[in-house]
Structure 1
Amino acid sequence: MARLVLDNIHKSFHGESVVKGLNLTIEPGEFVALLGPSGCGKSTILRMLAGFEPVSDGKILHGDICLSSSKQHVSTEDRNFGMVFQSYALWPHMSVKDNVGYPLKVQKIKSDERDRRIQEALEIVQLEEYAGRLPAQLSGGQRQRVALARSLVTEPDVVLFDEPLANLDRHLRAKMEETFRAFHKRTGATIVYVTHDQSEAMSLADRIAVLKKGELVQWGTPQALYATPKNTWLANFIGRGSVLKVSEIAPQQYVNSTDLHDLIERYSSEQVFSSVLVRPQDINFVPIGDLSIVVTVNNCIFRGERYDVELTLEDGQKLLTYNDMPMTVNSQHHIRLEQAWSLESES
């Protein structure tokens, strides 16, 4: 396997830029998610990787081979990339075995070798017993696994996923996430996975590229994106939390409880301010004290394993936290903010 590099990639349609100066380096065997809202360019990036779309500028490299540039374009069939679509794209009149083996038939692979590869692919997705069934006789999750097996049967260097779980219900999505994790562990394949679901990306990927309006906002591990987002937009997009306006402070640093309390005390809407991210688990209910802040319970919602509690500060700003017990709306309490992360201002 080889490293996959997107070097200053640009893509335009009819003069409108949809991907702008994208730089990513994907290591062999890495599971990478392209995450962002609809229209951010993530599916276009996947189509350029697959060879369905040429790049407008920049280069896509796989090891020492240039797959795409403004002067060169390697065709889809010559890239040895597998792809799993959102719609499954299975032939309804073909059995599971024939659907999985179709790419090998097109490549004119001999029958013995074709049967061996089909059997191995079906074993990986645990569908050996379903080889003779038609797609209509399968559940949505099973059809998705057939599409996955078909992408594996050609022994690809890279597997591309285009929102593969978007058509499944919550239960099936959870089961398929387990399937994808097990598949990645067993095969060690390089995976590029497009999704608009941040929880899906966080649970599956080694690293995530978060995109907005065709530009890379931040590139890092799920843990880094959650703990240290770059700006307010990303802080609101990844995970749950509250963004507070406080007195001015340098961005991209942790703020401890003492300093945070002082920044809140000194903040007023007339002065220059900064924004900080407070995650729900960093808020504790405490007795009145030097570092306690008065809050009012604005809402309390039962979530099964906990209650989501929306709090209002005296200046009207909102905070989200969790609690094991229900809390009375309009009741007043004292909290301590244990830490916060300061965000960059957005232009």
Structure 2
Amino acid sequence: MEVKMIDVSVHNGVIDWDKVKASGIGGVLMRCGYGSDIESQDDKMFKRNADECSRLGIPFGVYLYSYAKNTDMAKSEADHALRLVKGYKLSYPLYIDVEEASQSGIAKDVVKVFCEAVKAAGYMPGVYANENWWNNYLVGVDSYTKWVAKYGANNGQPGNKPNVSNFDIWQYTSKGSCDGIGSSGLDMNICYRDFPAELGGSKPAPAPAEKSNEEIANEVLAGTWGNGDDRKNRLSAAGYDYDAIQAIVNQKAAPAKKSNEEIAKEVLAGAWGNGDDRKNRLSAAGYDYDAIQAIVNQKAAPAKKSNEEIAKEVLAGKWGNNPQRKAKLEAAGYNYATIQALVNKMC
């Protein structure tokens, strides 16, 4: 038998798994993370990819990219992978991906510690490496299923098979393509073993424990659930209340509301426009236009001078002559008669 497979990670972006299934892909190997058991080293798309394949009944397995330089790190990497696959029924093995140059001298020990921990947890362990590694650094490692990389021309098509004994999966190119995956460069594989039949994982895996609306809202803000109708459809399909979650998202996404005093300063700086445009924009943002405009007017008004100061300005010719002087003084809030009396006295 030969099954066409792909392997994916966060580098492949947000995948449309409905299209992948329709394309005829028979199985998926997805990265769950890399290195030791540290949450920041989880693959940011693993949960979404695993949930979507579970929903659609796409058989999948998992791999963890290794940086282990000793057996303690290898044990931590096994714990990392086992933490993430908990709750999922795998249809393909759980692999360790060894390819770092610094691991060549200890590769066999790293692989053994990782794989034995995986086996003890009830999963089938496997090892991913390229042909050179299998023939130089992993010679004699035959207890675990082998996933071998050999690209040849790397033109999207298979070349010569790997010269490795008893391998089950061949990764033959990193230049493949598949409907639903927009990123350029997709790893393609051929599987020669019926793992789903052996592992009993051909049926959709049970969904993991449902998260709170708050947790899902945080995932939405992180981009995990897509946008628009895609987000609504996926949340609804997963059994979540889209409206309730979207309300939390909107609340979290809204900027903290500023005080009327702060907004008034922004108005004076020209940030909110003028006239009806200002009124409409402030109202749309949930601010009290009249209250803010009152502060703006107060801040914009020049400090009022004493009657004596204004009388001196009148004598200096700054306020014009009657009737213009009277109109200007009263418009500025001054008592014309009082000031004119002072002017007459000063003359």
- TM-score, normalised on structure 2? 0.27
Structure with max Cα Rg? 2
Query: Greater RCO between the two (CA within 8 Å, min separation 6)?
Result: 1
- TM-score, normalised on structure 1? 0.27
More helix by percentage: 2
More strand by percentage: 1
